[in-house]
Amino acid sequence: MSRPAHRRPEYRKINKDLFVLTYGALVAQLCKDYEKDEDVNNYLDKMGYGIGTRLVEDFLARSCVRRCHSYSEITDIIAQVAFKTYLGITPSVTCNNPSRTAFSLILDKNPLVEFVEELPAGRSSLCYCNLLCGIIRGALEMVHLAADVTFLQDKLKGDSVTEIGITFLKKLDEKKYRRKK
Amino acid sequence: MADEALFLLLHNEMVSGVYKSAEQGEVENGRCITKLENMGFRVGQGLIERFTKDTARFKDELDIMKFICKDFWTTVFKKQIDNLRTNHQGIYVLQDNKFRLLTQMSAGKQYLEHASKYLAFTCGLIRGGLSNLGIKSIVTAEVSSMPALTSMSDHTLKKEKLDK
């Protein structure tokens, strides 16, 4: 599938707006349908999971990433390649534990909340961008890596940055052992 | 720089999500379509505002429809509408022979019965866009053979022009 080589810059921005606005309409509809914040969060996570399982194929086809040998390499790829490709931002990566299985992605700029001023009243525990967590979780699972992905900090809830925590659950050694068989 | 893949996947998940939650309750097909259409309406309103910020004023309704067919459709779906027909009395028929949201589904008659679910959002998108340009309309869509889409926009309801 060939893509047009040149596109006027404002078209790209409008395209991004389409996704952001659609996501906003979706969250607004979910807030109308579900009373509890946890239900909305779970729903967004499940949706994100479904998207992630398919998006990873598109990502792998599009970018020629090499095989990763450690969790920190994987997290770097997610931050520097995947986020850049799909959202145009590059979060910074920090490691959260000495055994190097838990990482954080720190987002200063989050395009998904571009049109959001604040969370609606009575929805203080709503994770607006929970779709992202589901996407990362689904994508990792498709490459046989179980991980727990949650929001550790959220600018919409008053924190200074938005932080997504990725905790890898299964050890990479097991995977190597399986391959040797 | 959200790629179109992201939007396509989000749209598909939205459709399946709305229908899945409908299975649990006793909501008919119509209500799901309405939900999706309303979401599209909101998005269409916002999108057309951002898009027409710097464009020149539209001369008349036909000008607006041409804008929708060319610039708006190109931005959202990467191609122009293939055919625009009108009876010059408020009814416009837009034809897209390779509708982006359906190309990945099938290229013929397969899954034809499910196509309407995937069109509701786009109908809302057009209706929302027109609404913010001052035109009240009803937008319907039909697919006779995937992935060609024919959408009909009926402006014969009360037309409210923005005060200039």
Render B6-30 in DSSP notation, one character per residue.
HHHHHHHHHHHHHHHHHHHTT--HH
Q: With contact defined as beta carbons under 8 Å apart, do B151 and B94 qualify?
A: yes
B39 with A14: Cβ contact below 8 A: no
Helix boundaries (H) for A67-111: 71-77, 83-87
Q: With contact defined as beta carbons under 8 Å apart, do B149 and B119 qualify?
A: yes
Helix, strand, or coil here: B64? helix
Closest alpha carbon to B79 in B57, B63, B102: B102
Chain B residue with Cα closest to A86: B2
Amino acid at site B67: F
Stretch B99-107: mean pLDDT: 82
Which CATH superfamily hosts domain B4-17+26-154?
Trafficking protein particle complex subunit 3 (3.30.1380.20)
Angle at Cα A49 formed by Cα A47 and Cα A51, nearest 5°?
Answer: 70
Q: Does A28 touch chain B (CB under 8 A)?
A: yes
Helix, strand, or coil here: B82? coil
Place of tokens 């479904």: A50
Q: Does A111 touch chain B (CB under 8 A)?
A: yes
Identity of the residue in A29, A47, A115 whose CB atom sits nearest the CB atom of B39: A29
Residue pLDDT, tens place only, A106-157: 998 888 888 888 888 888 889 999 999 999 999 999 988 999 999 999 988 8
Angle at Cα A23 formed by Cα A21 and Cα A25, nearest 5°?
Answer: 70
For residue A110, the distance in angstroms to the closest alpha carbon of chain B comes to 12
Closest alpha carbon to A22 in B32, B121, B105, B52: B121
Residue pLDDT, tens place only, A27-82: 999 999 898 999 999 999 999 999 999 999 989 988 888 888 888 999 999 999 99
Closest alpha carbon to B155 in B101, B88, B103: B88
Q: Does A47 touch chain B (CB under 8 A)?
A: yes
Q: Does B78 touch chain A (CB under 8 A)?
A: yes
Which of A14-18, A175-179, B138-142 has the largest mean confidence?
Answer: B138-142
Question: What pLDDT score was predicted for residue A98?
Answer: 86
Neighbours of B67 (CB within 10 A): 18
What's the sign of the alpha-carbon dihedral A58, A64, A67, A71? Answer: negative
Identity of the residue in B2, B14, B21 whose CB atom sits nearest the CB atom of A87: B2
Closest alpha carbon to A61 in A15, A1, A133: A1
pTM value?
0.85
| Strands of the B91-96 sheet, one edge to the other | B83-86, B91-96, B149-154, B138-142
Hey, what domains does chain A have and what are their CATH numbers? Answer: 16-117+125-168 (3.30.1380.20)
Length of chain A: 181
The residues in B 89-108 lying below 8 A from A, measured between CB atoms, are none
Q: Does A51 touch chain B (CB under 8 A)?
A: yes
Q: How confident is the model at residue B164 (pLDDT cuts 50, 70, 90)?
A: very low
Residues 6+ apart with CB under 8 A from A83: A89, A90, A91, A105
User: Using CA atoms, how far apart are residues B21 and B27, in angstroms rounded to an integer?
Assistant: 9
Place of tokens 């008053």: A158
Closest alpha carbon to B38 in B122, B155, B151, B153: B122
